Amino acid sequence: MAEPSSNGVSLADKAKDMIEEVLPTRSKKQEKKDKKAAEKAVKKEQYAKDENVAPKKASKPVSTEAAVERDPDAMFKEGWLDEVRKERPAKDVCTRFPPEPNGYLHIGHSKAIAVNFGFARYHGGKCYLRFDDTNPEKEEEKFFTAIQDIITWLGFKPYKITYSSDNFDRLYDLAEKLIQRDGAYMCECNDEQIKDQRGGIDEKNKHPRYACKHRDRPVEESLAEFRAMRDGKYKPKEAFLRMKQDDFKTGNPQMWDLAAYRIIDEPAHHRTGKRWRIYPTYDFTHCLCDSFEGITHSLCTVEFINSRESYEWLCDTVEVYKPMQREYGRLNLTGTIMSKRKIARLVKEGKVFDWDDPRLYTLVALRRRGVPPGAILSFINELGVTTARTNIQTIRFESSVRKYLEMTVPRLMVIIDPIKVIIDNLPEDHEEEVENAFGPKNVDMGSHTLPFTRTIYIERDDFREVASKDFFRLAPGASVGLLKVTHPITCTSFQKDDATGQVTEIHATYDKPVEGETFKKPKSYIHWVAESSKHNSPIRVEARVFNSLFKSENPEAVEPDFMADIREDSLTVYPNAVAEVGLTEIQRRAPWPEQAGETKNGTEDAHGEVKKPGPESVRFQAMRVGYFCVDRETTSENIILNRIVGLKEDAGKAA
CB-count exposure of residue 476 (10 Å: 0-12, 13-18, 19+) = middle
Asked if residue 423 lies in contact with residue 384, where contact means CB atoms within 8 angstroms, the answer is: no
Return the bridge partners of 448, or none. Answer: 436
CA distance 542 to 623: 16
Distances (CA, A) of 158 to 96, 104, 117, 128, 607: 9, 18, 8, 5, 10
Asked if residue 47 lies in contact with residue 525, where contact means CB atoms within 8 angstroms, the answer is: yes
- Three-state SS for 361? coil
> 340, 342, 351, 567: which one is catalytic?
340
> 21, 100, 312, 649: which one is catalytic?
100
CA distance 83 to 308: 18
CA distance 99 to 133: 9
Asked if residue 389 lies in contact with residue 505, where contact means CB atoms within 8 angstroms, the answer is: no
Question: Which residues, 6 or more positions from 124, have their beta carbon under 8 angstroms from its beta carbon?
Answer: 93
DSSP 8-state code for residue 24: P
Closest Cα partner for 576 from 636, 639, 643, 503? 639
Radius of gyration of the chain measured on its C-alpha atoms: 30
Task: Please write down the HEC assignment for all residues of 135-179.
Answer: CCCCCCHHHHHHHHHHHHHCCCCCCCEEEHHHHHHHHHHHHHHHH
Closest Cα partner for 536 from 635, 449, 438, 642? 449
Closest Cα partner for 352 from 508, 548, 166? 548
Q: Is 330 a catalytic residue?
A: yes
Asked if residue 387 lies in contact with residue 15, where contact means CB atoms within 8 angstroms, the answer is: no
- Three-state SS for 420? strand
DSSP 8-state code for residue 266: S
CA distance 177 to 219: 11
> 330, 359, 403, 473: which one is catalytic?
330
Q: H-helix or E-strand containing 114?
A: helix 107-122
Asked if residue 463 lies in contact with residue 476, where contact means CB atoms within 8 angstroms, the answer is: no
Asked if residue 283 lies in contact with residue 132, where contact means CB atoms within 8 angstroms, the answer is: no
Q: CA 381, 382, 385, 389 torsion: positive or negative?
A: negative
- In Å, how far from its chain's centre is CA 80? 23
Q: Residues, the chain, total? A: 655
Annotated catalytic sites, by residue?
100, 330, 340
